[in-house]
Amino acid sequence: MTVDNLEKYLKQGKLNSIYLFYGEELYLLENAVKKIKKLFGELVLGINYIQIDETNIDNLISDIETPAFGFEKKLIIIKNSGLLKKERKSNSKASNELQKKISEYIKQNIETIKNTVVLVFIEEDISKCELQKILEENGIVCNFERLKPIDIKRRLKAICNAYEVNVDERTLDLLIETSGTNMQNLINEIRKLIEYSGKGGTITKESVQKLAIKEFEARIFDLTDELGKKDISKAMEILKELIYNKEPIQKILITLYNHFKKVYLSKLCIERNRDILPVLNLKPNQTFLVSKYKRQAGYFKTDELRKILDELIKLDNNYKSGLIDINIGLEAILCAYI
């Protein structure tokens, strides 16, 4: 089931007995769980509300079988239990046996489960297995993958409409480019912009540029822009700002390398008249970045990009060997392209 259909289903007050939620979009996932809790009604922890994780997953069957004492049903949330993930060889036998045991139990007692409990399985990611198959056959499975920009804009626009604040699509595009595609971050940013604009007001590109907090990757794009324009002082300013904001220097180095690798690949694709999108291996919600990579590829010569990548690799090796301070090394690489 899609996220949109799940939300419509819950909005209609329909409560199923079995759910399996997984994926990266945690804000929407947690919202769905909150709606299930609200539909379920009064919750008393330990009586009709049980929380399960990898530390007490062995208790799941007994918790299902234990009466809710004074309540019609019991809500059991099983979060990050590891039951639906690919297991390491060291503990796969015990995990597989437990997974098989729980799978068989749910399969054999599905009618009782439907009458007495609501099970909500929440995992970061899942692999195909017998338990996943049984949950899908008897319940609702929803992948909370990162939303595409068109879906993000639709949701942000709906929030603005609810507060009677105007915003156009291009401004929302700028907000997504600035603050990323994480819905929790975007909700926080759009609420801030709504407060700033006021009822009947309009969120503008200027207000986004002034108020929206840039995500880490967006600052890397900015740094590359300044470097491509040969404005070393601004590039250095962004680097120092990232360090000041306590971004790990190793993370900055790795992100810069991965970013310039994409710029380099974009440059090669342009020169060879090839489609860039498959080469960059972007997620579905990141396709809007293609034009930015193409633009930045125009700032550099192919051999310059190759040299930057080689120098970043060399810096990583020298840093690990204790031959150079990584901060000084990064600054030296940037200064080489004035």
pLDDT in tens, 184-202: 999 999 999 999 999 999 9
Split at pLDDT 50, 70, 90, the class of 3 is very high
Taking the C-alpha atoms of residue 272 and residue 195, their distance in angstroms, rounded to an integer, is 48
What residues have CB less than 8 Å from 88, skipping those under 6 apart? Answer: none
Mean pLDDT of 220-229: 92
On average, the pLDDT of the chain sits at 91
Query: Which has more confidence, 88 or 73?
Result: 73
Q: Indicate the angle between helix axes 290-297 and 249-271, nearest 10 degrees.
A: 80
pLDDT band at 130 (very low <50, low <70, confident <90, very high): confident
Q: What is the mean pLDDT of residues 16-34?
A: 94
Tell me the C-alpha distance between 78 and 58, whole Å: 11
Instruction: Encode pLDDT of 97-111 as tens digits.
Output: 888 899 999 999 999
CA nearest to 259, candidates 225, 230, 232, 209:
225
Give the 3-state secondary structure of residue 15. coil
- Residues 257, 263, 267: CA angle, nearest 5 degrees: 140
What's the confidence (pLDDT) of residue 93? 67
Per the DSSP assignment, residues forming a β-bridge with 50 are: 76
Share of the chain above pLDDT 70, in %: 96
Higher per-residue confidence, 132 vs 282: 132
Judged by DSSP in three states, 261 sits in helix
- The pLDDT, as a whole number, for residue 22 is 94
Task: Read off the pLDDT band of 90 (50, 70, 90).
Answer: very low
Q: What is the pLDDT of residue 282?
A: 80
Question: Which positions ≥6 away from 297 have C-beta within 8 Å?
Answer: 263, 264, 266, 267, 270, 305
The domain locations on the chain are 3-143, 149-211, 216-335
> With b meaning 16 or more CB within 10 Å and e meaning fewer, what string describes 237-255?
ebbeebeeeebebeebbeb
- Which among 68, 88, 91, 64 is positioned nearest to 77, based on CA atoms? 64
Predicted confidence (pLDDT) at residue 277 exceeds the cutoff of 80:
yes
Query: pLDDT at position 338, please?
Result: 59
Quick one: CATH architecture of 149-211? Orthogonal Bundle (1.10)
Under the banding of pLDDT at 50, 70 and 90, the label for residue 127 is: confident
| pLDDT range class, residue 63, cuts 50, 70, 90 | very high
Q: How large is the average pLDDT for residues 82-88?
A: 69
Is there a contact between 43 and 36 (Cβ–Cβ < 8 Å)? no
pLDDT at 335: 86
Instruction: Please state the rounded mean pLDDT for residues 294-304.
Output: 93
- pLDDT above 60 (res 89): no
pLDDT at residue 12 is higher than 80? yes
Structure tokens at 132: 């996943």
- 44 vs 73: CA distance, rounded Å: 11
Residue-level pLDDT at 95: 73
Core vs surface per residue 123-153: b (16+ CB within 10 A) or e: beebeebebbebbeebbbbbbbbbbbbeebb
Q: What pLDDT sits at residue 86?
A: 59
For residues 279-303, average pLDDT: 86
Contacts 24+ apart (CB under 8 A), 77-80: 77/33, 77/49, 77/50, 77/51, 77/52, 77/120, 77/122, 78/52, 78/53, 78/119, 78/120, 78/121, 78/122, 79/51, 79/52, 79/53, 79/122, 79/123, 80/53, 80/54, 80/122, 80/123, 80/124
75 DSSP assignment: E
Confidence of residue 59 (pLDDT cuts 50, 70, 90): very high
Q: What number is the average pLDDT over the span 286-312?
A: 91
Top CATH class of 3-143 equals alpha beta
- Give the whole-angstrom CA distance, residue 253 versus residue 250: 5
pLDDT tens digits, 245-264 = 888 999 999 999 999 999 99
Q: Interior CA angle at 27 toward 23 and 29, to 5°? A: 50
The phi and psi torsions of 67 (rounded to 5 degrees) equal -60, 155
Write down the pTM of the prediction.
0.76
**Domain 216-335, CATH class in plain words:** mainly alpha
- Helical ranges in the chain per DSSP H: 3-11, 26-40, 60-65, 92-108, 110-116, 130-138, 149-162, 169-179, 183-197, 205-211, 216-228, 232-244, 249-271, 277-280, 290-297, 302-320, 326-335
